[in-house]
Chain A
């Protein structure tokens, strides 16, 4: 699948559900795959008793990774040229997450058509947990 620059309109939005119930197991899977074994994300005893949090919370990079699916499912595989985010607030087990992609520009970059996107991921309460941008090659 691929997007065509002529079919894209600045301001158009695509919303994508990422998860309806983020599990602690997903956090454990992310720790194992990424090598980020910070116990804040997988060790509830540590997170509560030693670090003073209500419990474990997601790696920021898990939220960025989950959000990437919304991007690649829409723009296609291997087409991103830039993707960057700020982590705005914590993501907790049980959270529902969805991503909204908004077209901010369709332009030419060194002879290649690209689309610029605003990327926002929110939790079930509507709070932003991640905000960023992406650029992808389009046809």
Chain B
């Protein structure tokens, strides 16, 4: 979990807002956003997920010269060692929590510091064992002020995928 930082950019905010189906001008139109209560473009509530693009350790991004587990000539570019994808795709997103100290704006550069949280186990509805692992991420601005604290929980099913997690 290397620390890294990323720039908050207006273009990426626009693309992200489109990707979550939100035409609110506060995410795309600098003039309308300036005239609104927000006073300018700001990032949508789940925007900091884009940090994945800048995360040097992010495994869910193809990397030139390395095998990729998605399909090409065959259904997967790697040998599947676990059911339901295994590998970097084997975990599913079970929970996500954000605490907003303020909402990021274009021009912010956010430093991301991550640390592991709790881990726990549960029995799945269809018999397998589910292993939950929490990661806490702190996003700080250039002044070192906390902007967002995030907590995500990933579940790794040991046998079958349970409906308690949805990706």
- B100, A82: Cβ atoms under 8 Å? yes
Give B137-167 as 1s and 0s: 1 = Cβ < 8 Å from A's Cβ atoms.
0000000000000010000000000011111
Q: Knowing A82-B98, A88-B163 are in contact, say whether A49-B20 is a contact too (CB < 8 A).
A: no
Shortest Cβ distance from residue B156 to the other chain A in the assembled complex, whole angstroms: 14
A76–B37 Cα distance when bound, in Å, is 8
Asked whether B12 is an interface residue with its Cβ less than 8 Å from the other chain, the reply is yes
Asked whether B83 is an interface residue with its Cβ less than 8 Å from the other chain, the reply is yes
- B93, A68: Cβ atoms under 8 Å? no
A34–B6 Cα distance when bound, in Å, is 13
A101–B166 Cα distance when bound, in Å, is 21
Asked whether B65 is an interface residue with its Cβ less than 8 Å from the other chain, the reply is no
Closest 4 CB pairs between A and B? A65-B20, A39-B70, A84-B97, A35-B52
- B50, A46: Cβ atoms under 8 Å? no
- A69, B22: Cβ atoms under 8 Å? yes
Q: Knowing A45-B75, A77-B26, A77-B38 are in contact, say whether A51-B89 is a contact too (CB < 8 A).
A: yes
- B167, A73: Cβ atoms under 8 Å? no
A65–B45 Cα distance when bound, in Å, is 7
Contacts of B61 in A (CB 8 A): 35, 37
A46–B84 Cα distance when bound, in Å, is 10
Contacts of B46 in A (CB 8 A): 61, 64-65, 68, 83
Q: Which of A53, A69, A76, A87 has the most CB of B within 10 A?
A: A87
**A78 CB contact (under 8 Å) in B37, B49, B62, B75:** B37
